[in-house]
Amino acid sequence: MAEVEAAAELSEEALSELMELCEDQFAQLEKLQNEIILCKPDFCENPQEQAVNRLMATEAELTQWQTEGPKLLPSNSEVLLQAGREEMLKLCSELEMIVSCHKAKRDKLRETKELEQKWLEDKKQALVAASDHVERLQKDKEKISANSVLQDTKAKIQKMKVYQEKLMECLGEVLEKHVPLPQNESHKKKKKNITQELNDDLISLNEILELLMNKVLNTPHDPYVTVDDTFWPPYVEMLLRYGVAVRHQENNFKIRLETFC
């Protein structure tokens, strides 16, 4: 709309001058077009010669265009003012589009910057918290001395000993109740009337198990215990049968506690 109003401001003299210039240019274009239409193609039997001719014609046309300078608009000030105004309006429109694009990019970058700053603040807080935690752990580590570690280890060992004693007492009570030491009385063998007295030095099943466990703990390289007259044979047979103990491969009078995984 602005361009139409600006064009309307031109005088009749300027408009007629522009129209004459346009008609001259149009007549020249029509003349060139007619010459191109009426021009017959140059047929050559030799394709190489035809290519050379085309190259020479192209070079001549290029030289002509290089020597020919640009034609200026009419010297009429009104025409020049109108052309400059149109060019200025076009340039302003393009600049407005560029400004709009840059504003959109600026807003996007500003939003990205805010997100990045928030992320950076979160990471800084996490780093401060982690540093404080590491510092506290370092201080706690420095406070722990070798003496305190030793005392803690001794306390744990003592606690395990008390627990072991309780387990042994419970085991002794169970064995004393359910597997008591055999009484010294006569046994009659089948089909034979022969009296057999038990050895007064027999040890209980609890003592046998204690011997086996102590042997494993004290001498793990030689965990076997020699079976003598103090071991009641039924006790030994029961331990072997139920997989609590095993015999020595070369000496049947030696047994050891089974390895439990």
pLDDT tens digit sequence for 207-223: 898 899 889 989 989 99
In the structure, what pLDDT confidence band is assigned to residue 45 with cuts at 50, 70 and 90? low
Phi, psi (degrees; rounded to nearest 5) at 187: -120, 135
At residue 162's C-alpha, the angle toward residues 157 and 165, to 5°, is 125
Which of 218, 221, 226 minimizes the C-alpha distance to 245? 226
What's the pLDDT score for residue 18?
72
173-188 confidence digits (pLDDT tens): 888 887 777 765 544 4
Q: Does the pLDDT value for residue 103 go beyond 90?
A: yes
The angle, 0 to 180 degrees and rounded to 10, between the axes of the packed helices 205-218 and 233-241 is 60
* Rounded distance between C-alpha atoms, residue 227 and residue 96, angstroms: 109
What's the pLDDT score for residue 188?
42
Q: What is the pTM of this model?
A: 0.38
Q: Does the pLDDT value for residue 149 go beyond 70?
A: yes
Q: Does the pLDDT value for residue 52 go beyond 50?
A: yes
| N-term to C-term CA, the chain | 99
What's the pLDDT score for residue 196?
46
Q: Which residue ranges make up each domain of the chain?
A: 83-131, 200-261
* Range of 15-24, 77-86, 150-159 with top mean pLDDT: 150-159
Strand residues in the chain grouped as ranges (E)? 225-226, 245-247, 254-257
74-99 confidence digits (pLDDT tens): 666 776 777 778 888 999 999 999 99
